[in-house]
Structure 1
Amino acid sequence: MSRARRSAVDRLVDRAVRRAAGPAARRLAELRAAEPDATPAALVDRLGRRYVRRVAAAGGGVGAVAAVPAVGTVAAAALTAAQAATFVTASAEYVTAVALVHGVAADDEERRRTLLLAALLGERGGAAVRGGAGLGTLAWAKTVLTRLPLGTVRSVNAMLRRQLLRAALARGGALALGRLAPFGVGAAIGYVGGRATARAVVRELATALGPAPSALPATAPGPA
């Protein structure tokens, strides 16, 4: 992968991690205001459904526009890059919001980056974290986010970043981060592909964090 392409992927992930905390907290507070009696498990489910719809809609929109004969390769590539940014941004906000429900809000960007990178990689990401951090449990996120030394977290992130770069290269570079269907296949395939990718992130996050707690932590953002 070229240096420019690596830099594009890095910038995309770093920007998403840096900006996710505020929108994630607001989204959770809005959900709690709309459904004050919702259990933590219900809130996690609502967050997941919203996230899947958002990513699927973005994929469908790109597929529909890119299928128009008048849209050239450069324009289609720009559309796909925008969808990749939407996918990574939505993923960062989703994983951060669910972590808040679990009471394991990361207090620094490195730990939030671990959660995002692992979720983006799906099952491979979780396996890489467990191996790199020497963890035997499937629900690894609470340990990584609260107890592992920062130096270990950074080492794990470096490994996850390399894996994500290889995955991006295998699927056509940074523009394929969202695992989009090829240009011109239309809205239906773009929508289905986006939905499948988002669902894989939801599954990996559920494995990493384990079951939702029985009660919301005091630190969880609530209605104003």
Structure 2
Amino acid sequence: MKKIAVIVAGGNGTRMGSVTPKQFLLLHDKPVLWHTLAAFLQSYPDMEVVLVLPEAHIPIGQEITTQLLSVIPDAAQRVRITAGGETRYQSVQKGLQQVQQPAVIFVHDGVRCMVSKALIQRCYEQAIEKGSAIPVVTATDSIRLLDTLPANGQMGASAVADRARVCIVQTPQTFISSILLPAFEQPYNDAFTDEATVAEAAGHTVHLVEGDYANIKITRPVDLLMAEKLLAGE
């Protein structure tokens, strides 16, 4: 079945303390987004990518695609760039509009640049078998659940949770198109935190798959430092 990765890269550099959006920060002399695109294009020779960017960032996306040609000669033919919306949900919708035939669709955060070929392939194989594959890792820290939401910076009562039953959700969240495309025709709901919640709201059961602790999301300076170490094999 056709393989299409919808990579959403609409973030900014606020939490990084940078004027440069985090997806364009350099990691081993290449933009973070370069590494993300390369991971998907190298996972399967027939993988196609729909890169969703803010309108103003499309020229930078085109430059990054050109940079990929040195390692992936057909990158320009396999990457399409489209403008996103005001929210992540709208941006994913815009990306999905580019899917015109049955496919396995991977929706991925552009700043999860350490995604591995093994994880992408694991998600694909399960999506073919079960219809969906949501990568998760189990929590390693102690977890406490608050009885009420924090107010004025104050924490209320809490109770310990069994961390063995707590999963941290990653991307690429992967679905067959016959599930994901109709699900994204729903009106937006504040409960939609990711593609899995959208699919569940449409009446589908989502299926988890083993994620990867190295599949970190670059949101703060320490994340970029960690990615540097991982790429260096340290």
TM-score normalised by length of structure 1: 0.28
More strand by share: 2
Higher RCO (CA-CA < 8 Å; seq separation 6+): 1
TM-score normalised by length of structure 2: 0.28
